[in-house]
Structure 1
């Protein structure tokens, strides 16, 4: 019998598997991934990894593999303007380091992240089965029977769903969600520019939504460009000249001429929060448990926090001789993560509603608020510690750089 069966071979599923095998090598851990073999190697996107998450990745032995490709975010600036404004005044700047001289976040190419996790999984004896997915399961007193899409059955002590925001396993478990469609889409691409970014990330609050530029290696930046869905679809369908012209209007000329060097894709944006994170012999993690707006860059990092909490819950229960799939054990994970996830979901929802509009009185009030924060070092320090994920005394040990 498999000890932990993980459905989903993305960042969250793989990091959970590696975390479990690092802390408890005797556990039999299997990952089943419905994606075709090698598809992850075609991912041109990059992700923001906060300080707490990079400490967790260091604990499980993969950060050294990732570090050469990681670009530290040394400075973050926030502006609030219309697209047509010739000047975008800076209302808020973060330049503090999170802890022990470490930047509060790094930008990491997704290929480097997944590649390092897959290498670590193989080295620790994690079984990865590609091009197959779970289509249903039935929980019993001592195990969960999982049926794969081609009819094969697997038996495990615990099933963890890391199968994305439209999780079929979450639906099969009967777990309800709170959902809201923002009517926005996030366009993601990478640009190359003439001048160096010096590790600076920028978030421009524009009427249609935030336009974020995030630093990468070799004079490149990753873009997360929020637009109303109809406009996003129009931009994706436009030729390169029109797309780059619209992009330049938002990006500006501070880094010289820019050129799109990766494919452009758009993702619908919404809020999805699972009402429960666990059921008997079943747990949700990552986007299967929560999907939030990218306005704060915390989506993937919420998943890494899930990993740290769930791995610690499972490993400590196993050391005590407890049933790792029992609801009594899994409730600890749920109590650890549900409130933090709900709080972040509400925060991003409020921020998006507050800033994604062209209401002049509201703009004046929010810019006044940003200016106050910028003038209070202690408040800025609090916000950056929250953003880096290092705040809080009761967080899982791996997020503080400690082994389970």
Structure 2
């Protein structure tokens, strides 16, 4: 561990996906001598098993490629070749197909990949460990910090004090550092529960993802390598809690009712994990010598699997802001420099959160008039190629002003 008072350029609090990705982006592109501290409460050995998988957009794949991560996860990454959207009651014998996407923003290039979280974490951890510019402090936490005119002093849980020019909070949706900075959030909890698990099936999925909207919430089937599918299941909280408490046999029966029989016989191939569902957006992404990224800045409903992608957009924007400022000899922690990052990311994050919230509210009900309206809307999109191309570009992260890392370019 680095001694008290060591000078760093950027101090990152949080060793999750976005915290490690930011450390790597800065280490790769910043000028020689740039120093990064990564403060991780768990450390690689303390990470709990994670049954989840993440949908990585084409832009996120480009970022990971530039950082040298993609090759380590590519073998087990499953390309999504198409996306089907259906809407029906739970017990419906027939599920109408309202909208489908050929998920390729450009010929031969999938718009998204499904990657298991455990493999992605291992690849990021190994890459961070190989970078001499990154000092890992783990297991360690940030107890307090104080921003001054030229630096920020960070008091660690161990009592040591380190200094840097910028502190980045990547410590999750319940960010203590965000609260310490006095940044308020807008948001709410949903009366739903998320359930994730993995199933094996007897027939191949052909890379096809399915988003099935049910009255209790969306039921996503995300293809994994081999004859396996990752399930992201939104359920009414009361019923979801009962399903989680039930036996393996009852859990499989409930799952089969929603999964259907298109892929043949299914079996549980991973642990079941529940998680709360929230929408949350920080009122500001920056303060004096302080910036938020990832879930500390924004939390969206997981129905479109965009949470990690939005966090990686933060990484791309903040790393480009910091690196370009450092090359010009500017104060990377100055409020005027950080405002560029906030302008780049806050509207996009707010827009994404609003869209996910609106879709969840529109589809998570059993209203016949609302079903007719939304199904009409899906049908219009299905018959309008230009609209479909727009949605594919948005989901792939290639629309609008895109930071260089998301285009596969070095900063």
Q: Same fold (TM over 0.5)?
A: yes
- What are the within-5 Å matches in structure 2 for residues 140-151 of structure 1? 140-151=148-159
Q: Which residue is 1:345 aligned to?
A: 353
1:70 and 2:77 correspond: yes
**SS of 1:38 mapped into structure 2:** helix
Q: Which residue is 2:274 aligned to?
A: 266
1:61 and 2:68 correspond: yes
1:385 and 2:379 correspond: no
Q: Which residue is 1:121 aligned to?
A: 128
In structure 2, the gaps of 5 or more residues are 1-6
Q: Which residue is 1:84 aligned to?
A: 91
Mapped partners of 1:222, 1:27: distance in 2: 40
The answer on whether the counterparts of 2:288 and 2:333 sit within 8 Å (CA) in structure 1 is: yes
Q: Which residue is 2:217 aligned to?
A: 209
The answer on whether the counterparts of 2:194 and 2:234 sit within 8 Å (CA) in structure 1 is: yes
1:39 and 2:46 correspond: yes
Q: For the aligned residues, what is the CA RMSD?
A: 1.1
Q: Which residue is 2:37 aligned to?
A: 30
The answer on whether the counterparts of 1:76 and 1:93 sit within 8 Å (CA) in structure 2 is: yes
Mapped partners of 1:10, 1:102: distance in 2: 28
In structure 1, the gaps of 5 or more residues are none
Return the offset for 1:102: 1.2
- What are the within-5 Å matches in structure 2 for residues 4-403 of structure 1? 4-24=10-30, 25-40=32-47, 42-99=49-106, 101-125=108-132, 126-392=134-400, 394-403=401-410
Mapped partners of 1:369, 1:9: distance in 2: 41
The answer on whether the counterparts of 2:103 and 2:112 sit within 8 Å (CA) in structure 1 is: no
The answer on whether the counterparts of 1:40 and 1:114 sit within 8 Å (CA) in structure 2 is: no
Report the more deviating stretch, 40-49 or 334-343: 40-49
Distance 1:37 1:97, change over 3 A: closer
**SS of 1:372 mapped into structure 2:** helix
The answer on whether the counterparts of 1:161 and 1:167 sit within 8 Å (CA) in structure 2 is: yes
Mapped partners of 2:76, 2:98: distance in 1: 31
The answer on whether the counterparts of 1:41 and 1:111 sit within 8 Å (CA) in structure 2 is: no
Return the offset for 1:128: 1.7
Mapped partners of 2:320, 2:251: distance in 1: 46
**SS of 2:47 mapped into structure 1:** helix
**SS of 2:203 mapped into structure 1:** coil
Q: Deviations over 1:232-278 (max 9, x none)?
A: 11111111011000000000111111111111111111110000000
Return the offset for 1:283: 0.3
TM-score by length of 2: 0.96
Mapped partners of 1:8, 1:120: distance in 2: 16
Return the offset for 1:26: 2.6
Return the offset for 1:41: 6.6
Mapped partners of 2:218, 2:48: distance in 1: 28
Mapped partners of 1:39, 1:108: distance in 2: 21
Distance 1:96 1:215, change over 3 A: closer
Return the offset for 1:97: 0.9
